Every structure is written in C-alpha cells, then in structure tokens.
Structure 1
Amino acid sequence: MKCTKGASYERISKADVGDEDGVIRQGEDTAELAERRGIPLAGLLGEVDTYEVEQMSERAQREMRQRVERGLPPTGPRCFGYTADGAELVEDEAAEVKDCFHALLAGASLSGMAARLNERGILNRNGRPWSYNAIRGVLLNERYAGLRQYRGELYPGKWPVIVDEATWRAAKYVLEDESPAMSPGPGRRWLLSGIARCGVCDDGTTVTSGSRGGPKGTRGLTAPLYRCRRTKHLARGTEPIDLTVEEYVIRRLSRPDAVDLLVDETSPGTAELWAKAVALRSRIRSLTDAFAGDDDADAAVFKAAIRRIKARLADVEAQMACLQRARILVDIVTAEDPAEAWKDLTLDRQRAVVGTLATVTLLPGRPGRAPFDPRSVRIEPLQGMG
C-alpha cells in the first residue's frame, strides 16, 4: 500500500501531536500504524517529505507571482543604483548607471567604462572594482527600465526607473548583436587600431598598434606604430596619422549640414524597432530549430522563409543604425565648438565617431626621413556621411 497526499497521509500525520512527548510519540505511533498496515516506513517518510517540499515550493511560487503582479522589486542582493529593499534610488549610483547606458549607445566599450569607473574610485555593489562582465551585467539588467522577468516574460514594476525601456532595449541589442558594427569591442589605446585598414593588403585587413625602439642613447623610449595585422609590410607612426584623421572629423562635423546626420531619437517607433529586431531574430532561431528536428521538412521552403525574415531584419537594422549614428555624433554636432567637444570625448567615443563617419586606409609612408605626407592616409566617407 502506498501513502498518498490524501486521507492516509492525513490520518497518520495527526497521531498524538498534542502529547507532552509530541515529536517522539508521533514518530512512534506513525511507525506502529505503518507497521500494522504493512506500509514500508522509509517509503512513507519519503512521501511525507516530498509532499512537504512540494507544498513549500508551491507557496514560494505563489508569493513570487504575487510580488511580480503587484510590481514589487525583486528580493536578494542589492542592485547597484537602488537601496537594499529596491524601492528607492541611490542617486549617485543611479547617475553612474545612466551614464553607462548612454556611453554604450554612443560607442563606448565595456572595458573603457569599467576602467573609468575604477579610476574615479567608484566601486560595484560588493565594494569591488568594476570588470567587463560586471558592466555588461548592469546594462543587460531589465530592472533599470522598471521591468522584471518572470518565467520568460517581462512585467512592469512600481520602483523608480533609471533609463526608459527603449534605452534598455537598445543597449541589450548592441550587447547581444554579434556583428562587429554593433558589438562594442575591447578597450584600445590608439585612435585607429582595429579600425584603419592596411593599404598594402587593400582587402579589408585592419591595422593593430605596436611600437619600435627610440634612437640610440634613449634606452627605454619607444615610438607607437600602426602595423598591418598580417605582416610587417606596413609600419607607420601614430601621431601624424591621428592628427590627420582628427582634422577631417572636426572639419566634417563643423559644417552647417552636419545636423543632417542626426535623426530624431524621440520619434514614435524607436522602442518598437528594438522589439521588432528581437522578435525577428527569435523567429529565425525557432524556424531553424523546427527544421533541424523535422526529417520531412522542405529545405527550399525553409530557406525561402528564412530569406524573407532576414530581409525584414536587415531593414530594421538599417533604421537602428541611424539611431546609433545619431547617438554617436550628437555631442559634437550640437556643440558650439566641435573641436573642443572632440577633445572632451573619451578615446572609445572618438573611435566610434571615426568608424561612423569614414573608412580610413593607411598607405606606406615615404622612405627615410621624408616629411609626413597626408595623402598617405586615405579617408573615404561612408554612405550618407560625405
């Protein structure tokens, strides 16, 4: 006979619980009753324990669901930017969180953001220095947009928000997109490393940064260089090249028509673009999974469907690229003095501006000690940036 969650369990569990030796007496009587009825004691106790665990789990799930529906903040470790109960903002931390979101969407790297916070002595919620992954975790956290995830669904919360939902979705898209144009790369030391192309290869190969020793008698001194990523056929000093590119950027963004490069970020549909991109990517994954698990699926039909969805996704991404471009360029385009605004940008922001405006190709310099030739730096405006 097996003890269930019904009457048998109820009869046994009520045995002599009011006696002075309650716990011991209850155990003895339960064992006696089980023995008389031929019920294995170990199985009985296992059933009772399982039932109690299930009851506790159900209660916890009900409580969690109620908190979600009431819009209460999650429990657990304190979230950076909020008080321990999650109901109020810690203003100085909230300001840092908001700055990180805006910096990401303006082209900053996660490593660069972490380094700047650490340099300023801003520690994370555990009192430790920031890391790449810690910054990424903050920017992916829907809680900052007043949202809470429960069983795969997002629910609105009633705690104060730090960024709006459109900003959070934009950050999430940038961080989860695998294309180089959207994903923020590692922190860099030089303006064009990983951006400028090698004019000798002339096939899209980018340059990396390096150095060479200084003149004799200057022990320990080195000169920074841009080198071809593949071979040693290109090695150019960074300083005159960077100045040439900076002059181009400032000149382009100082023109009266520079405002045409911006779009209205507050126009209706901004949030919908991010949501639509996520939905289309999800559909591609779902179709791919379904095709992989169906031996009778028609490959031609599958490819046609994927092609149509990817075309729609490309259109959405093109619109999002315009929004990204505006965030990257707005600080300079709207400044009274674009040159000063350029100098005030962090290096990763400057790199994002260059990558948004033009393709830079480095050609070999003149041999020997010939003067620098600006024509050896080929700057070609990207489509719509001329």
Structure 2
Amino acid sequence: MKTETLPARHVEQDMTPRAALYLRQSVEHAEGIDRQDARTRSMAASRGWTVAGVFADDGQSASKDRGPKSAWRQMLAAAERGDITHVVAVDLDRLLRSQKDLLTLIESGLAVVTVDGEIDLASADGEFRASMMAAMARFEVRRKSERQKRANEYRASQGRPVPGRRRYGYERDNITPRPDEAAVVQYIFQSFVETASVRGVAQTLNAEGRYPTTGTQLWTPRRIRDTIMSRAYIGEVPHLGTWTKSEALVPLVGLPLYRRANEMLADPTRKTSPGAEVRHLLSGITYCGVCGSRMTFMRDYRCRADSKHPVIKKEKLEGIVMRAVTSALLLGPSAILPATSDEQDTLEALDAALSRVQKQREGIMALVREGLTDAAAERPTLTRLKDEERRLVARRDQLAQSSVAAEVLAGIKSHLFDGHRVSIEKAVEARQAIQERVESLSLARHRELVQLLVHVTVNPGRSEDRVVVAHRVVDSLNEDAA
C-alpha cells in the first residue's frame, strides 16, 4: 500500500482533527496491512476525523532505524508541516518500540490514538503511560535477543549448528546429510582437486542440470570457492571465533581431501581459466579514441567501457586494418623478420626452457598434494618458477609474432625487383599474394600479425578517417612520418 496524503489545510480554516493512519508490520504481507487500514480508518470515522494521509511501512521492523524514505519519516514530515494533528494506529507496538521514537512523537505534539486503547501524548498522563509501554516493548525485544544469543551459544558449545538458512548438502536441521546434494558437494571437492578450475566445476554442474537449491539459480565460481572453503563440510561448527569439531554434524568430505583442495585454492601461482575464446579478429586489440578502452565485438565493434563511444561495422574496420597490414608487409624492412639462427634465443630453445620450468613446478605441486613437502615452504620457489614461466612465454610470443610475418612473406618479396628497379606489376601481384596468405592464417596467427605491425584506434565520426592505424614497424607509413 502506497503512502497517501491530502493537501494541507490551515487550522484557522478547519478545526476538524486531521488524522494520519500509520500501518506497519515486520513481514511484508498485503493482507495484514489491509486489515490495519480498515480498523484505523473505522476508528477515525467514528470520531469524525478527516483522514489526511495513510502511511504504510510493509516489511519494516520497528526495532530498526526507519530511513528517510520510510512512511514513518514521511508522516513526521507531514506533522512538521502542520498537515496532520492526530495519529491512529492499531496499537502502540505497530507505531514504535523504542524510547527514541517515543521522544520524536512527543516533540511533534501529535495526539496518538490506538484502536486497542487511547493514548494522548499531549497530556502528562498520556506521555507517562506511553513511556512505560515503550519501555516494556523495548525490554521484550532485548530479552528475546538475549535468549536467542544464549541458545545459539549453548548449541555451538554442544557442537550443534545454530538455526539459520539450510546449508546445501544438509536437511533443515543442518546436521543430517541430504544424499543427492551431499554427492554434489563431494563431486565439487574431488573435481576441483583433479582440474584446479572452479569455473570448470561450475560449468559442468550447470550443464548437467544439478543446480543449487538455495540462493542463486546457477553454480558460479564464487559459490564453488565458498563451498570448498566451508569447514562445515568436514564436520566443524563455529564457536567463540574458532571452528570446533561437532559430534552431531555428519561430515561430507574427508579432512585430507579438504586440506588438499584448500591448499590448491590458496596457491597464488595456481593457473586460472584463460577465459572466453576470442572469435573476432580485432576484438580486444583495437582501442576507443574517446577513453582508450579496448573495443570488443557485439554485433559491431564497440567500446567496452561506454556504449555511447565509437561504434564501427566489422567489415569496414577489418578491411581498413587488412590494407594497412598488407602495406606494412609489402614495404616493410627486414626488421619484421625474426632473429637469425645464430642467436641462442630461438623458438626451439624457448620451448625447451619453458617445458623444463613447467615440469619442475608441476613436480613440486605433486609433492605438496601428497603431503611430502610443505606448501608454505615451497611458495617462494613456486613463485620464482611462475615468474620465469611468464618471462619465457612473453619472449616466445614476441618471436612467434615475428615468425608469422616471415611465414607470410616467404618467397614473395624476392621477386619484386627487376634489375635495380621495383616492378609495379610484380608489386601488385605480390600485394595480392600477401593478402591471400594473411587471409589463410588461423585467427590466432592473424591476430599476432596485427599486433606486431599496427596499433588501431577508432575515433567518433562516420568516415574511414576516424580509424587511425599507427604502424609499429614500418613507421614511414604513418601520416606524421615527415
């Protein structure tokens, strides 16, 4: 029910009491609010009062602070403006449960009337009785809270879970396993240990239709991670800030498997998922000319950061970049080609070094999983090996990008010269041959070639001039080369 108010009227013009109906319940339920509305409206009518507004807080606890957008605050604002003189509620508990709220009403000067007993805060006697009732209500709230805390502490001291939302894998008592869900929990731990991928575990469960029954509708990497980290699945409950073994709680996972999964989860050098596979040539390697963010393909190439920034058709952008890449390959110097075989740092040597580092790292991780060495003690070595692996991969990618240029140019440019002059006809043929070879590359190799040769920026506008291609190697092709 929405808050309703009538236009303000001055007391001098109309001395009829202007009543506000205040309705509240802790649990959101329209039927309860409707009953309160009928009862309070009937009382106002029996007194001959004008209903100047209806203020309903549905699903709002009176023991908690009611914010500026609440009906309670709107009613107080109406009182301050002089729009209302009386407040009608079913009983005082619906209206307030704290001394702070009572003082607010007293200072407003409103006359408060309840269906279950009248209280007039304008009189000393009414104010005293309201203070006593508010104090009793507050006492009941705090006593209930203290009883609940003591009960929870006793349960925890006895090794029993405290009441709350049902934990996945257990029945509502959070003690008895639910067989079908318990099997999923066990699968999560075992599958993660085998694959080291929380995302992969989530995708498999969702694909098989084994969804979580509480909270979100799909398994997410975050939910898989939280499940692996929960000590409740090894039969422990929290008590006084620590986790203790529970005799009542049935564990779903053995301690060795739990420790192994959590050590892998905490390992800072653990490999992560490579993410979604790139499907479009320039996605992620073209940049927005407005904010500098990368552009991605969503029906067209567009800025990832802001949909209002430059947008360009796929065919147009890729055509412009293809011409620039072909020109760079046709006119580029030998600097495009990879290092000579005399250098030690060849692709073959890098592959071998990378293989050795990866095997050494995987060997240490195997010892940690078997409990033959300590994860914390091996972490510096694992970190060093991970850094070395990244360095080798970066260097290998650099040489691989150069090699793709050599792959395209092999046997083409040597036929351009006719004596000491460049043959125009052969140049046209060479350009066509280069373009055909570039188009025959795999998507990954094609992207490597683009990143090696050019940097692409798309500015606002409609003409092709808004696409700025900066040549990385053949800088003579840049417009500002002069």
Smaller-chain TM-score range?
A: 0.3 to 0.5
Using the size of structure 2 for normalisation, the TM-score is 0.35
Which structure carries more relative contact order (alpha carbon 8 Å, separation 6+)?
A: 1
Larger radius of gyration: 2
